[in-house]
Chains A and B, each alone.
Chain A
Amino acid sequence: MSVFIATYLPNVVKFWDIIEKAIYETIYMVGVSLFFSSLIGIPLGVLLVITSRNHLLPLPAVNQLLGLVVNIFRSIPYIVLVILLIPFARALIGTSIGPEAAIISLVVGSAPFIARLVETAIREVNRGVIEAAQSMGATNWQIIRKILIPEAMPAIVSGITVTAVGLIGYSAMAGVVGAGGLGAVAFNYGFNGFKPDIMFVTTVFMIILVQGVQMIGDAIARKMDHR
C-alpha cells in the first residue's frame, strides 16, 4: 500500500500536510456556512409559508417581497456572488480571502435555497393538524414550534442535506478564488502546479465527504420519520 502511494501519488505524500489541512478547511467552511444558512433559511422558509394566502399570518405584500428577494439571490450565479460580496466581506471581517470570506458568500448563496426547501417541506404539513392545534387554542408561535417544524423535520433535514452536498461543491469553487480548502489545493497544486495525483486525491476526498454527508443526512431523516 505505502509502496503504491509512494509510486503513484508522490506529491500526495509530499504535500500531505496541506491536503489534510484542506480537508479540515472544507469541513469547517461547509459546516459553518450550513449552520448560518439554516439559521437564516429556516425562519425565512417558515415566513414564506405563513405569510401566504390562507395561512397563519396572511401578509401578501411581505410574502411577495420575501419571495422576490429569495429568487434574486437564487438566480445570481455563485461565482458572481463571490465577486459582488468582496466589498461586503472586507467591511465585515476585514478581508475578502480565506475561509471566513468564503463563508459569507456561501451563506448568502445557500440560505435562500434552504428557505425554498423549508417552504416546500412546511407546506406539506397537513392543514388539519394546524387546525387541530388552533382548536386547542394554540398561538401562531406555538403552531410553528410544536406543529410546523416538528412535522416537517424529516423533509427539512433532507433539504439541509442537499444543501450541504451543494456547499461542498461551492466551497471548492470558493477555494479557487482564495478561500482555501480542497478546491484550492486541487486548483493551485493539482492544476496550476501540474500534479495530477493531488487533483485526483482531493477529488476523491470530496466524493467521500459528499457520500458521508448524504448518508448521515438520510439516516437522520429516516430516524425522524414516523409516518
Chain B
Amino acid sequence: MITLSNVVKTFTSRFGSFTALNGIDLTIQKGEIFGIIGYSGAGKSTLVRMINMLETPTSGEVTVGDTKLNQLSSRELRRARRKIGMVFQHFNLLWSRTVAENVALPMEIAGVPKREHAARVMELLDLVGLSEKADAYPAQLSGGQKQRVGIARALANQPDVLLCDEATSALDPKTTDSILELLKEINRKLGLTIVLITHEMHVIEKICDRVAVMESGRIIEMGDVVEVFSHPKTTTTRELISQVAGSEQPEQEFLEGLNQGAVLRCTFLGEAANQTVISKLVTELGVEVNILQGQIKRLKDIAFGTLYIQVPGDVEVEAKTVAYLKKQGIKVDVLRGAEGGGRS
C-alpha cells in the first residue's frame, strides 16, 4: 500500500544543512495499523509528512497505492491527497466554522456537490460519536472531542490511508484510549490503512500491528509489535518499552528507612521468562523477597517493566540473588548493598 524506498530528507537553511531522514526503506501493508515510534527529533513527523508530500524527499521514492507521489504534478498531487487523510496533534480545526462545516471542508475542496455534504457529515459525526455537536464551534469542545472532529474530517473523502501525527499526544490518558479505540474501530470497519506516529509505547502496544522504531533519521528496528517487544535489539527500543510499565524509582529516604538487606531494581526487558522468577527466587534459592514497588506489563506471554525488591540478608544472599536474576535474563541494578549505604 505505502512504500518508501531510500528516502532521504535534508533541510538546508542559511545556518547549514540537517539530514532529518537518512535512507528510509519502509513498506506498509494495506489495512494495517502501522506505528512509528521514537524520541523527539528522530524524524517521525518528517517521515509521515512524506506520505502526503507535505514534505518532499531530497531523494528516494514514495509510493501510495500505485502512485509515485514524488513524480506527480501539483494538480495530480492535490487529487492524490484527497485519498490520504491526516490527523494532527493540535487538531488544526477552523474555529470560524462549526463542527459540521469543518467536517465538510475536505468535500468542498474536492468539489463534492453541496447537496451530498449534509448526509455524509452526519454519517461521519455518527461514526465518531459527535452527532449532537454538529452545530457547535470547536472552541466549545474538549480536546478529545476536537480530535474526533479531526478524525471525521480526515475521513470525509473516503481516504485509503489515514496519517496520524501524534494524534493523542495532547490528550489525557483516558481520552487517549478512547481515541485509540476509535481509530481501531475505523480501521476494522472501513479497512483503511493507518500510519500512526507517537513517542508513547502505550499507543503502539494498544493498537498497532507493526512498529518501526526511529532514531536520528533512521529506522533502527521494525516488525510485528509482539516480535519487537519480545526481542528488542537496541537500547532505544528497550527504553521505550520500559515506558509502558511505570519505572520511577522509590524515594531515597524511603530506601534509607528500610531495614537492612539489598535493594535491587529488576528490569524485565521482554526476554526474561516471566514473572515466576520472583516466586522461584523464594522456593529455589530460599531467599525472602520483599516487593517494594513496580509494575509489570504483559503482552501475550512476555513481561515488561521494572520491579523494586528488597532482599533481606547479607552480601552473600545479595550476590546469589543477583546472579540468579541475571541468569534469567533480567537486568539488575543494586540500589543499595546488603550492608547498608548506597552503592549506586
Contact = CB atoms under 8 A, between A and B. Distances in A.
A contact residues, range: 20 to 34
A130 to B, nearest CB: 9
B261 interface: no
Given A146-B105, A226-B137, A137 B94 contact: no
A165 interface: no
Contacts of B153: 132
Contacts of B258: none
B54 A136 contact: no
A135 B109 contact: no
Contacts of A64: none
B36 interface: no
B206 interface: no
A146 B86 contact: no
Interface in A30-65: none
Contacts of A139: 78
A136 B82 contact: yes
B84 interface: yes
A137 B96 contact: no
A54 to B, nearest CB: 11
A135 B96 contact: no
Interface residues of B, number: 30
Nearest to B75: A139
B231 interface: no
A136 B139 contact: no
A2 B90 CA distance: 63
A226 B81 CA distance: 29
A152 to B, nearest CB: 9
A175 B137 CA distance: 46
Contacts of B82: 136-137
B92 A131 contact: yes
Contacts of A66: none
A131 B54 CA distance: 8
B92 A126 contact: yes
A151 B163 CA distance: 25
Interface in A139-198: 139, 142, 146-147, 150-151, 153
Most buried by B among A136, A146, A151: A136
Interface of B: 52, 54, 77-82, 84-86, 88, 90, 92-97, 105-106, 108-110, 137-139, 153, 157, 163
Interface of A: 126, 128-129, 131-139, 142, 146-147, 150-151, 153, 224, 226-227
